[in-house]
Amino acid sequence: MVTLELYNQNTVKSQWCPGCGDFAVIKSLKEALVSLEIHPKDLVITAGIGCSGRAFAYLNGYSFHGVHGRALPLSTGIKLANEALKVLVLGGDGDGYAIGMGHFPHAIRRNLDLTYVVMNNQTYGLTKGQVSPTSDLGYRTTTTPAGNIEGAIDPMAIAMSSGITFLARGFSGNPKHLTKLFERALAHKGFSLVDVLSPCVTYNRINTYDWYRDHSYYLDEEPGYDSTDRMQAWNTLLHNEKIPLGVIYQGERPSYEDLRPTNTREPIALQALHDIDYSEVMEEFF
């Protein structure tokens, strides 16, 4: 039986500020994992560096908290070595869209079966309030005292153009909706991204819970929105004043695991290594 209680085992006390949006992310993730009956023994949580990265310690499961920006490559190795595992990648906007951005489109184009949850608060939290690649123009921080003069990156558009097969955006202020998104993302076969608007209550006084409420809308409530329609997805991303929440796009294409040439689907890491005959390969050297 997979229970919430099971997911609370092997965890440590949170170091997040009271009111942090990331609490809702962890709560919703646990609920989604329980409802999908994924056992912690079959789950690997990977995380990068930042406040969000610390989430790896707040729910049960195998987990690997790596270096800054490299959670996606780490996860690629973990998943390919054992395709039977569910791999959940956690990080923030700085970890994923700044230092780790070099890996983002490549992980997506490989379409490995990973679920990537980005806790996007549009600021650097752990290093105490510097500008982030998703910070809005004019945003004042310790490193942009005169206001941000760099435009914000649009990770959703980058994900779309890299060929993502499951793209969603959630909001920490609506954990119920978030849980549903996580359930769908975890169940999706292929790379899934859930970018969660997850307010930083300490350093980001602009993009607050109320600000996000005022500046977002739910795609479920849009009549006729078809998330399997790529053009609609692009239109939604490009032509909206407000931030769309929900599943923006869901498509299908073979994953890297499906396409890799092999005679067996036995997990690579679990196969026996003894008593294998290599003399045929050595013969090629004569």
Partner 1 sequence: MAVIVNQLKLLAGGEAGDGVFAVSDMLALMFARAGLEILTTQTYSSRIRGGHINASVRVAEREILSQGDELDLLIALDLETVELHRKNVRDHGIILYDNSQGEIDLGELEQRHITVFPIPARKIARERLSAPIMKNIVMTGAALTAINFDPEFEFLGDLIRQRFLSKGEKIVAKNMEAAAAGQEIIQQANKLTNYRMERRQRARKMLLQGSDAVSFGALVAGCRFMASYPITPASDIMEYLVTKFPKYNGVMVQAEDELSAINMAIGAAFSGARSLGASSGPGIALMIEALGLAAVTETPLVLVDVQRCGPSTGMPTRMEQADLNLLLYGAHGEIPRIVIAPSDIEECFYQTIRAFNLAEKYQCPVIIATDQYLSQSQRTTWPFDLSKVVIDRGMLQTDEELNNLSNPFRRYLITERGISPRSIPSQEKGIFKTTGVEHVETGNATENPDARTRMMKKRFLKLDTFRQEDMQPPKFFGNPESDITIVGWGSTKGVILEVIERFRQEEALDLKLMHLVDIWPFPDQAVADVLHRSRQVIVVENNFTGQMANLIRQQTGIECSKVGKYNGAPFSPKELYQRLKELVVISEKIPT
CB of 233 to partner 1, least distance (A): 25
Choose the binding region for partner 1 from 34-42, 193-201, 208-216, 225-233 (rule: CB under 8 A): 34-42
Q: Site mask, partner 1, residues 239-278, x = CB under 8 A?
A: ---------------------xxxxx-xxxxxx-xx-x-x
The residue from 46, 115, 179, 207 that contacts partner 1 (CB under 8 A) is: 46
| Neighbouring residues of 222: CB distance < 8 A, sequence distance ≥ 6 | none
CA angle at 277 for the pair 271 and 283, rounded to the nearest 5°: 135
Number of CB atoms found within 10 A of residue 169's CB: 23
The enclosing H or E element of 73 equals helix 71-81
Strands 62-65 and 43-47: parallel
Separation of alpha carbons 264 and 95, rounded Å: 35
Establish if 111 lies at the interface with partner 1 (CB under 8 A): no
Looking at the Cβ atoms of 145 and 261, the one nearer to partner 1 is 261
d(CA 270, CA 103): 27
Minimum CB separation of residue 11 from partner 1 in Å reads 9
Q: Is 103 in the site for partner 1 (CB under 8 A)?
A: yes
The pair of three-digit structure tokens given for residue 164, joined into one six-digit string: 């993502």
| Interaction site with partner 1 (CB under 8 A) | 10, 12, 39-44, 46, 56-57, 60-67, 69-70, 72-82, 84-85, 102-103, 106, 260-264, 266-271, 273-274, 276, 278-279, 281-282, 285-286
